[in-house]
Amino acid sequence: MKNVIEWIKNEWNSYSKNMRIALAVLFGLVALFGIFAIQILFWGLGYTDMNNNFAMGIWIIGDLGLVALGGGAFFTGFFLYILRVDKLEPLINSTVLLGFMCYLFTFILLVFDIGQPLRAWFGYSYPNWGPGLMPQSMLTEVVWCLTFYFLVLCVELIPIPLKHKIVDKIPFFHYFGHYLHKLMWIMAAVGTFLSFFHQGSLGGGMWGVLYAKPGWFRPHYFFLAIVAATAGGTSFMMLIPKIAGRIMKKEVAPKESFMTLARISGVMFVFYLIFRGYDLYSLFNTYAPLADRSYADILGGYYGWWVVIGELLLCLVPIVIFNVKKLREQEKLHFAGLVSGVAAISLSKVEAVLHGFSVPNFSWKGFTAYNPTVQEWFIFLGSLACMTLIYMAFARFFPLFPHLEKGGHGEGEATA
């Protein structure tokens, strides 16, 4: 025990003053997460601002956002292992870890969101049997796909800790990790198949089939969510290593790896903006009038116009930067493109959830509002803090960035 305490002290003292302050804030958020998690799980959703109008709140935004941004893991893996874009390999460990954490904390937030965690297994076992014993619950398909893809990510994550210098010296773990790595193309193919369905179902299909909600209903929402995940997810898979490189003052991956993924992200944002433009056009001209409403009127309330306009403007930033070589190679502009891309897809989830719930079903009713309580905020922020600490631990103790292990640029040199 004394050796453990001494190791913790030495580890803590090895960080700079600013880093220790940041770690203290993160651990504080995790502690508050634990306190409010107990309160919610034992005393119920009465401590939230959710109600019959807002059946889901900030946690489901977190779920949708994490799944969409985590979708960059399957898309990057698809390009690396299936299309053989080998320049992405230095980023793949970080990508797998980010995908794993996004899906892990999606499940954790869902535990709070469903209100009765002891009945969480209902999602697997009660698919709302319809005529002819046909399952009619899209949520059942989402739960099963999420679970299977999370298991795929667990398998993909195993080789990273097995490559630790101490563990790798053990012959069994060395060969086990080696052969697992050879099977990654199978995991990537399975993950792509599974992720395609749950990205569309959770991100758009669950909402787009609700024909009684004029702010949600449109049949193509399923496919829009998939394109959103590929665009924003790839930006997220670059943003986090970029931040890690700035903190570590090291080049965590070659510049060409970031440039390759940036070009992919830029093209996908072009597709997303075109698709989103068609989405808004169809809402204005077809789907809102089906409910005898004007879509311009539906965009009122607290989360209407400014969210949609903000999303579209933010989409333009990565499109311009990532598709122009001179711009994407400039570090500051590249970073701005990544932040804007992630923010654009995050805003699209805010629009889907908050705005969608705020729109009244009938034109004579007013818009409703939702303000997350302290408990909701700290469970959400505590989840992000947990993810940050896990990522930092992997970057510190495991070969998260193979480029560094192979003698990448050291401290003081420019980041990728």
Separation CA 32–CA 28 (nearest Å): 6
Residue for token digits 């989360």? 303
Separation CA 351–CA 304 (nearest Å): 7
Domain range list for the chain = 2-405
Spell out the alpha helix ranges (H) of 78-117.
89-113
Q: What is the CATH number of domain 2-405?
A: 1.20.1630.10
- Return the SS3 of 163: coil
Q: What is the pLDDT of residue 413?
A: 40
Q: What is the pLDDT of residues 217-235, one digit of tens each?
A: 999 999 999 999 999 999 9
Confidence of residue 302 (pLDDT cuts 50, 70, 90): confident
Residue for token digits 């009660």? 126
Q: Which of 126-135, 192-201, 329-338, 360-369 has the highest mean pLDDT?
A: 329-338
Q: What is the pLDDT of residue 260?
A: 95
Structure tokens at 158: 């195993």
List Cβ neighbours of 406 (8 Å cut-off, separation of 6 or more): none
CB 341 within 8 A of CB 295: no
Q: What is the pLDDT of residues 380-392, one digit of tens each?
A: 999 999 999 999 9
Separation CA 84–CA 77 (nearest Å): 9
CB 59 within 8 A of CB 380: yes
Three-point CA angle 361, 364, 370, nearest 5°: 55
Please measure the distance between the N-terminal and C-terminal CA atoms of the chain and give it in whole angstroms: 41
pTM of the predicted structure, to 2 decimals: 0.91
List Cβ neighbours of 163 (8 Å cut-off, separation of 6 or more): 177, 398, 399
**Which residue(s) pair with 129 in the sheet?**
135
List Cα–Cα distances, 141 to 101, 121, 280, in angstroms: 21, 13, 27
Separation CA 57–CA 49 (nearest Å): 8
Structure tokens at 290: 């089906």
Q: What is the pLDDT of residues 89-103, one digit of tens each?
A: 999 999 999 999 999
Q: What is the pLDDT of residue 416?
A: 35
Q: What is the pLDDT of residue 409?
A: 46
Structure tokens at 396: 């510190």
Confidence of residue 134 (pLDDT cuts 50, 70, 90): low
CB 341 within 8 A of CB 235: yes
Separation CA 11–CA 45 (nearest Å): 39
Query: Is pLDDT of 128 > 50?
Result: yes
Exposure b/e, 73-111, CB count within 10 A at least 16 = b: bbbbbbbbbeeebebbebbbbbbbbbbbbbbbbbebbbe
Residue for token digits 């654009």? 344
CB 234 within 8 A of CB 261: yes
Q: Which amino acid is at 7?
A: W
Query: Is pLDDT of 411 > 60?
Result: no
Structure tokens at 119: 């009945």
CB 360 within 8 A of CB 366: yes
Separation CA 412–CA 378 (nearest Å): 36
Q: What is the pLDDT of residue 94?
A: 94
